[in-house]
């Protein structure tokens, strides 16, 4: 596991070398893997990681279904609620469905509508790694939504290089370092050889140069 002080040094370097901007940029890490066959599905990473200090912005969440799940979704202030009828309608509007798939970070769906989701929205959500989390009847979705608001999704598919957001330039450097530490620790925990499967990790702002951490 990389030392927190080393992470903080990389964060400092990335922020200090980034050109000054008049807008808030995201802070990302790029991870390069090694000595692992990504053609094997078992070696691929598909993880949702809760960042200790959030992403620096609020993830947009959509809830699909009817009845109790939509009542809870409204109370939790989710950004989009789709009824079964709207799911089917959206399936016939490819452009709108594509925009929805791109705009919302996480999707939750009542288990009863999952077949409809698969049929009508699967072609848009599946390739983006955004198929909804199935929610059984009676589940309290408030804590799930709260957790997802501050989470990131990592999905490697068959590539050895991937990146994920770890915060924003408006966050403190200590908070960014703690977020990065949480992500690296999670990645190491799911890799067959842990840290030995990580070739390098870089930290950068949206428009700034990459700074090597590992």
- Residue ranges per structural domain of the chain: 4-56+152-212, 61-148
Q: Above 90 in pLDDT, residue 22?
A: no
Inter-CA distances, 55 with 91, 97, 149, Å: 30, 25, 8
CA distance 188 to 33: 11
CA distance 43 to 45: 7
**In the chain, what are the helix, strand and coil shares in percent, each to the nearest 5?**
45, 25, 35
61-148 sits in which CATH class? alpha beta
Q: Identify the band that residue 52 occupies on the pLDDT scale cut at 50, 70 and 90.
A: very high
The per-residue pLDDT for range 131-185, each reduced to its tens digit, is 999 999 999 999 999 999 999 999 898 899 999 999 999 999 999 999 999 999 9
pLDDT at 76: 96
Q: Does domain 4-56+152-212 have CATH number 3.30.190.20?
A: yes
pTM value is: 0.90
pLDDT at 213: 96
Mean pLDDT, residues 180-207: 96
- Count of CA atoms in the C-beta half-sphere (13 A) of 41: 0
3-state secondary structure of 12: helix
């Amino acid at each position: 596991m990389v030392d927190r002080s080393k992470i903080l040094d990389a964060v400092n370097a990335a922020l200090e070398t980034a050109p000054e901007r008049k807008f808030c940029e995201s802070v990302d890490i790029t991870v390069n893997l090694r000595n692992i066959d990504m053609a094997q599905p078992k070696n691929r990473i598909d993880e949702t990681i809760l960042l200790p200090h959030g992403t620096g912005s609020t993830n947009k969440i959509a809830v699909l279904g009817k009845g109790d799940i939509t009542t809870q979704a409204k109370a939790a202030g989710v950004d989009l609620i789709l009824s079964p009828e709207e799911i089917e309608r959206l399936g016939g509007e490819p452009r709108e469905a594509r925009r929805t798939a791109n705009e919302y970070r996480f999707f939750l769906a009542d288990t009863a509508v999952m077949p409809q989701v698969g049929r009508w929205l699967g072609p848009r959500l599946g390739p983006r790694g955004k198929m909804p989390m199935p929610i059984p009847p009676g589940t309290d979705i408030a804590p799930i939504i709260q957790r997802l608001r501050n989470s990131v999704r990592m999905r490697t598919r068959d590539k050895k290089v991937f990146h994920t957001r770890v915060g924003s330039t408006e966050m403190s450097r200590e908070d960014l370092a703690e977020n990065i530490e949480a992500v690296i620790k999670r990645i190491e925990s799911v890799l067959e050889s842990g840290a030995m499967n990580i070739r390098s990790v870089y930290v950068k702002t949206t428009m700034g140069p990459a700074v090597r951490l590992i």
